[in-house]
Amino acid sequence: MIMKKIYFVSSNRGKIEEVEHHLKKFRIRVIGKVIELQEIDSESQEKVAREKAKYAAKRIGKTVITEDTGVYFKAYKNFPGAHPKFVFRSLGYGGILKLLENKNRKAYFKTTVAYCKPKCKPKTFIGVCKGRITKKVIGKSHPRLPYDSIFIPEGEKRTFSKMSKEEKGRYSHRAKALNKFARWFKKSSS
């Protein structure tokens, strides 16, 4: 069987590795392109992901996928939402955990994967992982995936950072969105 290929554009090498690892199961070869993508200021993750995909497809002149991930705390409306990187850089673990003291710790991750051909309208695929935020940092902190050390998915006792890639893939919001994309991509390109 011939392996399909797709370009995945991100400035985050950790995400590129995760996407490569995950899509290999679907016989999709990922060609990672490390490019700093400009993000529009929007509360809508889908809009952010679509704009990133249009920009990336135009910039490299290839069919691409991009993704945008947000984390949402039940205790706060739409927060951090589509701005998790900014919130983490501003507050760090200490500030985030302080914000959730004596609050509902339920949270969810949402990933939007956007597929785009140059000069075409992007198509999006969404994956959600529900869980909760811990009271302390657990496991090794990855500088590009900091929330993995404070998020425990529903049905688990461990944070994402304490799981192997395969274990995380069973729960992961990114994996769920990538699964939807992969099934569609295989069907639409056959």
Q: How far apart are CA 100 and CA 91, in angstroms?
A: 12
- Taking the C-alpha atoms of residue 124 and residue 142, their distance in angstroms, rounded to an integer, is 27
Q: Tokens for 145, please give them.
A: 């995936």
SS3 48: helix
- Rounded-to-integer distance, Cα 6 and Cα 20, Å: 10
Question: Catalytic one among 18, 67, 68, 148?
Answer: 68
Active-site residue 148, yes or no?
no
Q: Which of 149, 103, 104, 155 is nearest to 129 (CA)?
A: 155
User: Among all residues, which ones are annotated catalytic?
Assistant: 68
